[in-house]
Structure 1
Amino acid sequence: MNNNNLLTLWGSPHSLYTGKVRSYLIKKGLTFRELLPANPYFQNEIVTAVRLMVVPVVETADGEILQDSTAIIDQLEHRYPDNPMIPATPIQRIVAHLLDGFGSQGMLPAAMHYRWSYRTEQEHFLRAEFGRTIHHGSNREQRLAAGASMMDYFNGFLPTLGVNNDTISAVEAAHEDLLDALDTHFQHHPYLLGGHPCIADFGFMAPLYAHLARDPVPSALMKQRAPNVYRWTERMNQGLMIDAEFFDHPPEFLADDVIPETLEPILKLLFADWGRNLSPIHSSPITGYRKIVTQQQGK
C-alpha cells in the first residue's frame, strides 16, 4: 500500500489519539499521508495484522505496522533522531513525560464528558464525523446511519471513567481552570516547554484537539474562554513555524533546563486533579479531582 517512502497514518479527524500522532508527525517533519479506516485496505490488511479495529496505526514504507500512540512516537523518535521531540535535560524531560501522561490519560474524563454528555447538542456533527471514518461512499444518509451505530458503542464509556451526575460539575470546573492556566501560558510561549514542541504538547493534543477543539460544545467554550489554547491547537497542526506573535521567541526549549514560570500553575492543577492517580492504590481516572476529594473530606 505504501510507496514513495511515505509513512501512512491510519486514523480519523475525531480520534483523540490520532490527533496526538498527527501533530507529532507534522512537527517532527516526517513525510506522511493520512487515510481513513473506511478504506478497504485497512479492513483487509491492517485490522488483520493488528487483530483489532483501532486507530491510530502507522504503516512504514516497508510494510511494518506500529500501533499505540506512545509506542509509535517512541519508535519513530528512535528511528529519526534529528529534531528530537524529547528534551535532553533531566528536569525538562521528566516534566515533558509527566505532562504527556496527564494529557494522554488524566484528561480522558473531560474529553469524553464533553463529547458524550452533550451528545444531543452536537448529534449531527458527531454522526458525520464517525460516519466518514467507517463508511466509504457518497450516500449521505448511509454515512450518518453508520456514524450513529458506531456512536452507540463509544457512548457507554462514561461510567468506566467515573463521569456521572455527581462528578460532572467537578470535571467541568477542573477543565475550565486548566483552560485558564493554559491560556495564560500560551500568551507567553508557543509550546508547553518554550519555543519548541515536545511530547508534552502531543500528549495534550490528544484531548484538546479532536474532542475539545472540534466538537461544537467544548470548541465554543475553548474559543470564548481560552482563545490562546485554540490557537495552539492550530499551531500544533502546522509545520515548523514561528507565529507572528512569537517572532522574537527562540525556537528551542528554555536554556539551563528551566521550566517556564507560566507552566507552574498547570503543574499544580495536574497534581491536584490527577496526582492521586499516579499511585497504584487509586486507579480510577476520576478519584483525584480535588473538588471531589474536598467534598468527601467535608462529609
Structure 2
Amino acid sequence: MYTIHGALGSPYSMKMRALMRYRRITHAWSHGSHVQQLAAEKSLPPVIPVIEYPDGSFKNDSTPVLYDLEERHKERGVVPPDPAQAFIAHLLEDFGDEWLTKAMFGYRWLEEVDQIQMSRWLSFDALKGGNLKTSQSMAKIFRERQVGRMGMVGCTRENFPLIEDSTRRVMKALEDHVVNEHYLFGSRPSLAEISIYGQFSQLGVDPTAQAMMRADFPYTFRWLLHVDDMSGIEGEWDDANAPIKPVALKLLAEFGRVYVPFLLANEAAMEAGEETFSMEVDGLPYSQGTFKYQLKCLRELRYRYSKLDADARAKVDPILDENNYLEFLQ
C-alpha cells in the first residue's frame, strides 16, 4: 500500500489523491503537519505531498511519481496511448502544475478575507484541531510567511491581472466543455485534467475564488467534485485519428499565450545570470524571480517533443504552429 503524506490545502496532494483514487491504487491518506519534516528526514525537496511507496522508499515530485506509477501499474493509466495525445496531455499537465498554481497562490494570499480564513483553516488542518488559541497563533505566523513569499513566486498585485485573465480563459474553456462531457481525450481522465483539478481544487475552497467560480463558472466548480473521486469511471480513450477536442485546443492556445513567454523569459534570464525576469502579455506586465525548476520543465518539454515520431509530429506540429510556439520546443 502507498501512503500519500499530504494536506487538503495542497493542490499537488489533491492531484495525487485524485490520481490514485481513479487508478484504484491502494493507498492511505495521511494528513497533517508532519509532511515537511518527513521530506527533510528523507532528504527530499521541501514540497508536498510525500509519497511513501510499499517498499518503504519516498518520493515527492508529483509528475515523476505519476509517470513512475504508469510503469508500475498498467491498469487504468492516465497517459493516452496515442503519442500525439500523450504529448498534448503532458503539455497541459505542466501548464496546470507550473502556471495555474499562480492563480491558486494569488487568490489565497492577496486579499485579507482569504488570508484570514485560509491561514486559520490550514493551521487547523495541520494541528487537527489543537485548540483555537494555538491554531490561530500558528495561523498568524503562517499568514505572514506566505504573504512574504508573494513576490518570489510572481503572485503580486501588479502581476495578478494577467494571472486572473488567464485563469478565467481556462475556466471558460472548461465551462463550455464540461456541460457536455467531462474529459479531454476520451471518456476517461488523463494527467491533464488531474493536474488542472489539483490547482482548481483550492480555488473551489478559498472565499474569493470560490465566489467567482460559483457566479461565473458553476459547472466547472461542480466538475471539481467529480474529478476528486473518479474511481467508478469506466471509459475509453479517443481513437488516435480523432480530432483534438476544442477544449484541449483552447487550453493549448492559453499555454502558448502566457506559459511559453513565461518559460522563455525565465530561461533567458537564467542564461544571462539575472535574478529576475519580466514579460508582457496583452499589455499586462509580469515579473518574478528566476526559477531553476521551470528551466527543468522547459527542458523536459523539449526532450519529450524530440522523442515524437514523424506521425505524432504530423498531428502535433500544426497545432503548435498555429499558436506560435512550435519553435520554442525545437
Question: Are positions 1:219 and 2:218 aligned together?
Answer: no
2:2 aligns with 7
Of 250, 260, 265, the residue aligned with 1:275 is: 260
* 1:131-189 Cα deviation digits (max 9, x unpaired): 13432553122112223322322222221233334332222222222211111021222
Deviation at 1:51, TM superposition (A): 5.2
Residue pair 1:86, 1:199 contacting (<8 A) in 2 also: yes
Cα distance change, pair 192–151 in 1 and its aligned pair in 2 (3 A): farther
- For residue 255 of structure 1, give the secondary structure of its aligned residue in structure 2: coil
TM-score, normalised via structure 1 length: 0.83
TM-score, normalised via structure 2 length: 0.76
Residue pair 2:15, 2:198 contacting (<8 A) in 1 also: yes
Mapped to 2, the partners of 1:105 and 1:237 lie a distance apart of 20
Cα distance change, pair 267–36 in 1 and its aligned pair in 2 (3 A): same
Mapped to 2, the partners of 1:78 and 1:285 lie a distance apart of 37
1:103 aligns with 96
- For residue 54 of structure 1, give the secondary structure of its aligned residue in structure 2: coil
2:305 aligns with none
Unaligned 5+ runs, structure 2: 271-275, 286-330
2:247 aligns with 262
Of 183, 199, 204, the residue aligned with 1:207 is: 199
- For residue 281 of structure 1, give the secondary structure of its aligned residue in structure 2: helix
Deviation at 1:275, TM superposition (A): 2.0
Unaligned 5+ runs, structure 1: 1-5, 243-249, 294-299
- For residue 231 of structure 1, give the secondary structure of its aligned residue in structure 2: helix
State the number of aligned residues: 278
1:125-144 alignment runs, 5 A limit:
125-135=117-127, 138-144=130-136
Of 177, 180, 188, the residue aligned with 2:172 is: 180
1:6-25 alignment runs, 5 A limit:
6-25=1-20
Mapped to 2, the partners of 1:44 and 1:203 lie a distance apart of 25
Mapped to 1, the partners of 2:6 and 2:92 lie a distance apart of 23
Deviation at 1:57, TM superposition (A): 0.5
Deviation at 1:17, TM superposition (A): 1.2
- For residue 48 of structure 2, give the secondary structure of its aligned residue in structure 1: coil
Mapped to 2, the partners of 1:185 and 1:285 lie a distance apart of 35
Q: Percent identity?
A: 21
- C-alpha RMSD of matched pairs (Å): 2.5
Mapped to 2, the partners of 1:73 and 1:286 lie a distance apart of 32
Pick which of 60-69 and 162-171 moved more: 162-171
Residue pair 1:276, 1:282 contacting (<8 A) in 2 also: no
1:297 aligns with none
Mapped to 1, the partners of 2:28 and 2:221 lie a distance apart of 24
Cα distance change, pair 214–136 in 1 and its aligned pair in 2 (3 A): closer
- For residue 160 of structure 1, give the secondary structure of its aligned residue in structure 2: coil
1:133-172 alignment runs, 5 A limit:
133-135=125-127, 138-172=130-164
Q: In structure 2, what residue type is equivalent to 1:253?
A: W
Higher relative contact order structure (alpha carbons within 8 Å, sequence separation ≥ 6): 1
Of 71, 79, 102, the residue aligned with 1:86 is: 79
Residue pair 1:194, 1:260 contacting (<8 A) in 2 also: no
